[in-house]
Amino acid sequence: MSQQTRTPADAIPQPLLDVRGIDTFYGAIQALRGVSLHVSRGEIVTLIGANGAGKTTLLGSIFGNPRASVGSVSFDGEDITTLATHRIAPRGIALVPEGRHIFPAMTVEENLVMGTIPVGEAHLDEDRAQMFELFPRLQERRNQRAGTLSGGEQQMLAIARALMSRPQLILLDEPSLGLAPLVVRRIFEVLREIASLGKTIFLVEQNANHALKLADRAYVLVNGEIRLQGSGRELLADPEVRKAYLGGH
Amino acid sequence: MDWHILAQQLVNGLTLGSIYGLIAIGYTMVYGIIGMINFAHGDVYMVSAYLTAIAIAVLTGFGIDSAPFAIVITLALTMFITGVYGWSIERVAYRPLRGSTRLAPLISAIGISLVLQNYVQLSQGAKPQGVPTLVSGTVRLGTETNFVQMTYIQILIVVVSFAAMAALTWIIRSTSLGRQCRATQQDRKMAAILGIDTDRIISTVFVIGAAMAAIAGVLVTLNYGSFDFFIGFVTGIKAFTAAVLGGIGSLPGAMLGGILLGLFESLFSGFVNTDYKDVFSFALLVLVLIFRPSGLLGRPEVEKV
Ligand SMILES: Nc1ncnc2c1ncn2[C@@H]1O[C@H](COP(=O)(O)OP(=O)(O)OP(=O)(O)O)[C@@H](O)[C@H]1O
Ligand SMILES: [Mg+2]
């Protein structure tokens, strides 16, 4: 590799995603307090935090729903803070939301097609074939109503749908929630594969053990504020993190 | 009971039911996408009857006397202008009130309904209006005394209605626009995150509903020839009954509910009593709401978790 491409992430002048000092409210309730974080191209970054810390709100604020009232969100150098929600995906960001939010009355195939809205259907066949390779289960069930899939299959579908928009950055909100250990392991394997395809990943998790092992860097969110940050390895070793998120050993 | 009377009532019921089905589509699609009843929809249908009369008058003024040509142009113009009404109703009565109480947009829609009735009454006069007969003639089956007949207009109504319903079903099932409508209906927030302009989709649904009602308005006006500013009320409630019967929110349900209601109503008028046919329909609405509120093809309302 040439010397230029080995520049350390911190020295890259412009991160792919740059969140600066955002406050987000639900009515009078403040869910985020001056949150700043960044994700550089090619990185896997994770955000861990307890229930109600504001993780889902943070991902929502990247999509303008709920919208941050203070601070800014930039993507690839463009300020997207005030962009309408439906204009975010075409910029190259995809979300795998908490609770999957697949379209239950549509077939698996139709759900995949819904992912292509930002890029059109020109690459549909090629990308769908790639998704079926990544998730053979989805191919078997391609004409089945998505609402009848198992939880793990729905999670796979939500990830595949997000990838269908050919995003640069993929945001995932607790993809391992409520899944059996074997399925969780498969999900994290898939995330590694996605990263190897050149995608940038921002992963929100309560499953700190898996997430920190996967991540290049990590943030800890407590009560709407960033409490800690560092490499995945550093946080895995941090006594405070171990106590709060890794079962106290 | 004579077979030909039964068959005649079924023919009449199918015609009437096609009209109810077309109007019911607007109720059911709007409900499907925003979870609210468009109380101004019956008056949109009423406006389309007036637009039909205006279009026919203008075409006659230009000396166009080919009936098929006049009907096609009238349909296109009326669907377009009525679609603009549908779009405006969403903009004025629904969009500004999104996120407020559920009752607010219903009240504003009733307001629009009153505005439309009074505006038409003032601008067009309170007296019933009429259009000249464009198509006449009937097809008869049977003997000299025992026969079933269907007028050319009735045939036109059934053919055009079924074609419109088939086209709309195809759009919703198989096109990108249709998928975006269904996605917005199933999960509006997720649809927006995937890049769908959900406001545009909601507007489109109001326009589709109004355009379908306009087809009904043109066909009914060609059939009966006369109408007034108040026709939207009773027909609106009938079509709403059809939508509830079929399962509100369900597109095939609206069509099925329309046809069934038309058949029930004409069988009731043919064999029981003509004067009480409206009472019969409204009683049916009440019974469906009590015993099967999700209708024939609708899914029971399940709270999202
Ligand atoms: N729609 C809402 N209205 C009001 N308050 C909300 C809403 N959504 C979230 N909150 C509040 O905002 C705070 C952050 O919620 P958020 O869902 O972002 O947490 P989270 O970190 O994703 O939690 P979890 O791990 O349980 O998913 C919580 O206190 C929550 O009660
Ligand atoms: Mg959450």
Candidates A59, A100, A114, A171: best to mutate against B (most CBs of B within 10 A) is: A114
A104 touches chain B (CB under 8 A): yes
pLDDT at position A9:
52
Burial category of B135 from C-beta neighbours within 10 Å (exposed 0-12, middle 13-18, buried 19 and up): middle
pLDDT at position B304:
36
As for the ipTM of the complex, it is 0.92
**Which residue has the CA at smallest separation from atom 30 of ligand 1?**
A52
Partnered with residue B186 across adjacent β-strands are none
* In-domain check, residue B92: yes
Per-residue pLDDT tens digits for A168-220: 999 999 999 989 999 999 999 999 999 999 999 999 998 898 999 999 999 99
A/B interface, count of CB pairs below 8 Å: 56
pLDDT at position B52:
96
Per-residue pLDDT tens digits for B20-65: 999 999 999 999 999 999 999 999 999 999 999 999 999 999 988 7
Residue in chain B lying closest to A111 (CA) = B183
Q: Which residue in B183, B189, B196 is closest to A65 by CB distance?
A: B189
* In-domain check, residue B70: yes
pLDDT at position A8:
53
In ligand 1, the atom with minimum distance to the C-alpha of A57 is 18
Give A201-224 as a DSSP string: EEEEES-HHHHHHH-SEEEEEETT
A64 Ramachandran zone, left/alpha/beta (phi>0; psi -120 to 50): left
B134 closest CA partner among B31, B53, B201, B14: B53
pLDDT at position A2:
43
* In-domain check, residue B120: yes
A60 in ligand 1 pocket by Cβ < 6 Å? no
* In-domain check, residue B17: no
Q: Determine the average pLDDT of the residues in B98-107.
A: 89
Per-residue pLDDT tens digits for B218-243: 999 999 988 999 999 999 999 999 99
Contacts for B18 with CB less than 8 Å, ≥ 6 apart: B157, B158, B161, B162, B258, B259, B262
> Which residues of chain B have a CB within 8 Å of the CB of A87?
195
Q: What span, in angstroms and rounded, lies between the C-alpha atoms of B221 and B161?
A: 14
CB-based contact A106 B180, cutoff 8 Å: no
What mean pLDDT, rounded, does chain B reach? Answer: 92
In ligand 1, the atom with minimum distance to the C-alpha of A54 is 18
A29 in ligand 1 pocket by Cβ < 6 Å? yes
Q: Which residue in A105, A110, A117 is closest to B196 by CB distance?
A: A117
- Our count of domains for chain B comes to 1
Burial category of A77 from C-beta neighbours within 10 Å (exposed 0-12, middle 13-18, buried 19 and up): exposed
pLDDT band at residue B274 using 50, 70 and 90 as cut-offs: confident
pLDDT of B272 > 70? The answer is yes
How far off is chain B from A236, nearest CA to CA, in Å?
32
* In-domain check, residue B162: yes
Per-residue pLDDT tens digits for B59-70: 999 988 788 999
Q: Which residue in A86, A104, A113 is closest to B196 by CB distance?
A: A86
pLDDT band at residue B300 using 50, 70 and 90 as cut-offs: low
Residues B44, B89 contacting (CB under 8 angstroms): yes
Residue reference for tokens 């690459």: A123
Taking the centre of ligand 1 as the mean of its atom positions, its distance from the CA of residue B194, in whole angstroms, is: 21
In ligand 1, the atom with minimum distance to the C-alpha of A50 is 25
CB-based contact A86 B197, cutoff 8 Å: yes
Taking the centre of ligand 1 as the mean of its atom positions, its distance from the CA of residue A237, in whole angstroms, is: 28
A4 in ligand 1 pocket by Cβ < 6 Å? no
pLDDT at position A11:
54
pLDDT at position B305:
32
* In-domain check, residue B300: no
A148 touches chain B (CB under 8 A): no
A216 closest CA partner among A73, A42, A52: A42
A28 in ligand 1 pocket by Cβ < 6 Å? no
Parts of chain A with a pLDDT under 70: 1-13, 248-249
Give chain B as a DSSP string: --HHHHHHHHHHHHHHHHHHHHHHHHHHHHHHHHSS--TTHHHHHHHHHHHHHHHHHHHHHTT---HHHHHHHHHHHHHHHHHHHHHHHIIIIIGGGTTS-SHHHHHHHHHHHHHHHHHHHHHH-SS-EE-------EEEEE-SSSEEEEEHHHHHHHHHHHHHHHHHHHHHHHSHHHHHHHHHHH-HHHHHHTT--HHHHHHHHHHHHHHHHHHHHHHHHHHH-EE-TTHHHHHHHHHHHHHHHH-TT-HHHHHHHHHHHHHHHHHHHHHT-STTHHHHHHHHHHHHHHH-TTTTTPPP-----
pLDDT at position A116:
97
pLDDT at position A5:
47
How far off is chain A from B198, nearest CA to CA, in Å?
8
Q: Which strands form A29-39's sheet, in the order they lie side by side?
A: A29-39, A17-26, A70-75, A78-79
Q: Which residue would you say has higher pLDDT here, B101 or B214?
A: B214
| DSSP single-letter state for residue A196 | H
Q: Where in the sequence is the domain holding B222, given as residue range(s)?
A: 22-136+146-291
Residues B280, B268 contacting (CB under 8 angstroms): yes
* In-domain check, residue B160: yes
Angle, vertex CA B268, rays to CA B263 and CA B269, nearest 5? 100
CB-based contact A106 B187, cutoff 8 Å: no
Residue B67: CATH number of its domain: 1.10.3470
In the stretch 153-192 of chain A, residues with CB closer than 8 A to chain B read 161, 165
* In-domain check, residue B3: no
pLDDT band at residue B142 using 50, 70 and 90 as cut-offs: confident
How far off is chain A from B193, nearest CA to CA, in Å?
6
> Which residues of chain B have a CB within 8 Å of the CB of A95?
193
Q: Which residue would you say has higher pLDDT here, B195 or A246?
A: B195
